[in-house]
Amino acid sequence: MKTYRIATIPGDGIGKEVVPAGRQVLEALARSTQNFAFDFENFDWGADYYRQHGVMMPDDGLDAIRDKDAILFGSAGDPDVPDHITLWGLRLKICQGLDQYANVRPTRILPGIDGPLKRCEREDLNWVIVRENSEGEYSGVGGRVHQGHPIEAATDVSILTRAGVERIMRFAFKLAQSRPRKLLTVITKSNAQRHAMVMWDEVALEISKEFPDVKWDKELVDAATARMVNRPATLDTIVATNLHADILSDLAAALAGSLGIAPTGNIDPERRYPSMFEPIHGSAFDIMGKGLANPIGTFWSVAMLLEHLGEFEAAKRVMAAVEAVTADPSLHTGDLGGKATTAQVTAAVCAFVERVEAAAA
Ligand code: NAD
Ligand code: MN
């Protein structure tokens, strides 16, 4: 029997509520199968750790998680600590340190979810957004001079490397090729950003030649927002830079019904390092500590984690449980207009997972 070593990093806010819920689902799976087990290690990194130690995670923290099979992450962000400290000190430190250069964000309207697009059939919206996760606008290159004086100046420089663009394009084309429609949209802004984004377009064209069976097109990022709303069925796999995809994927999550549902994986496609899975939402200060957080985004992330480990049956079982739960309005949390608690949704998903396995055995 295979034992997977999983690091859990709840972080801050509702991360501390949804990550334990995700772990419960993994434990329910493990209880009901002979095929695999999990060996969890929890890391209490985040804003509380920062208040005690002055850093979000220890300097040698990456060494503690480097050899795990996967990481389940919650959220970094605290009302009393500036966002650039929490983000750079934890989540980006892990993503960049473990070179998780492909951020993958599937979006579908799950059964029972009332999405805001009234002219859209549920099946029309089935996307996966690939976000370049290691450079671009979030390279961290830049600086400030004359701080506090009237002549103060500040830069955030976006860096794109040919190697970085090639690897994310190749990943996106491959992912598009693995999906039924074999359709990729490359998001760009090369009309206005006339250096790096032009190279981005050139590399897309070059890599496309390796994938003759993939249909692909280009769309400017601003036009892409309108296309997502007006013609969702014309999109399938989407690749974009770090910032562009960050914005498009929050729009995608909203169009699919709620930020609380959307999952993501920070993937090292070469598998040199563990990949990290997390709901895309943040710490949700307005509801933290109340047991009201929707754990579905975390459960979907758990399904992605299982797929990444090659446990496809288990991943399907978790998604079936998620869909059974979203289909039942009495199990909707507040963000979906319901009254259910995190604990109730979690119990329902765990019960479903174990029931399905019992039926199969
Ligand atoms: P947010 O995602 O925390 O919250 C936005 C809104 O969505 C809030 O009203 C919140 O209650 C609601 N919401 C989010 N997730 C929910 C869930 N699972 N169930 C029910 N409702 C949910 O975004 P924000 O308010 O912009 O950010 C708050 C903090 O989180 C900031 O510090 C920010 O930097 C951080 N953040 C971290 C990450 C991350 O670590 N990946 C991502 C986004 C934001
Ligand atoms: Mn974001």
Each residue of 282-337: pLDDT tens digit? 999 999 999 999 999 999 999 999 999 999 999 999 999 999 999 999 999 999 99
What separation in Å is there between the alpha carbon of 112 and the centre of ligand 1? 23
What separation in Å is there between the alpha carbon of 245 and the centre of ligand 2? 8
197-229 pLDDT, tens per residue?
A: 999 999 999 999 999 999 999 999 999 999 999
Q: Tell me: do 273 and 316 sit in the same domain.
A: yes
Which ranges in 309-341 belong to alpha helices (H)? Answer: 312-326
Question: Is 76 touching ligand 1 by the criterion CB < 6 Å?
Answer: yes
Q: Which domain holds residue 13?
A: 1-103+264-361
Q: Tell me: do 245 and 278 sit in the same domain.
A: no
What separation in Å is there between the alpha carbon of 15 and the centre of ligand 1? 9
Q: Tell me: do 122 and 233 sit in the same domain.
A: yes
Residue 356 is encoded by which pair of tokens?
């399905």
Spatial separation of the C-alpha atoms in residues 346 and 361, rounded to whole Å:
23
CB 47 within 8 A of CB 56: yes
Q: Tell me: do 249 and 280 sit in the same domain.
A: no
Examine the fold and report which residue of 203, 237, 255 is the final residue of a domain before the chain moves on.
255
Q: Tell me: do 144 and 206 sit in the same domain.
A: yes
CB 284 within 8 A of CB 293: yes
Three-class SS of 242-278: HHHHHHHHHHHHHHCCCHHHCEEEEECCCCCCCEEEE
Q: Tell me: do 96 and 144 sit in the same domain.
A: no
Q: Tell me: do 171 and 127 sit in the same domain.
A: yes
Q: Tell me: do 95 and 5 sit in the same domain.
A: yes
Spatial separation of the C-alpha atoms in residues 124 and 133, rounded to whole Å:
27
Mutate to test the pocket of ligand 1, among 83, 91, 281, 301 (most ligand atoms within 8 A of CB): 281
Examine the fold and report which residue of 255, 277, 306 is the final residue of a domain before the chain moves on.
255
216-274 pLDDT, tens per residue?
A: 999 999 999 999 999 999 999 999 999 999 999 999 999 999 899 999 999 999 999 99
Q: Tell me: do 229 and 301 sit in the same domain.
A: no
Mutate to test the pocket of ligand 1, among 9, 57, 259, 345 (most ligand atoms within 8 A of CB): 259
Q: Tell me: do 84 and 132 sit in the same domain.
A: no
Question: Is 297 touching ligand 1 by the criterion CB < 6 Å?
Answer: yes
Examine the fold and report which residue of 214, 229, 255 is the final residue of a domain before the chain moves on.
255
Q: How many domains does the chain have?
A: 2
Query: What CATH number did the domain enclosing 169 receive?
Result: 3.40.718.10
CB 93 within 8 A of CB 117: no
Cα→Cα distances 315→109, 237, 300, Å: 18, 20, 9
Q: How far is CA 41 from the centre of its chain?
A: 21
Residue 356 pLDDT: 73
Q: Tell me: do 65 and 196 sit in the same domain.
A: no
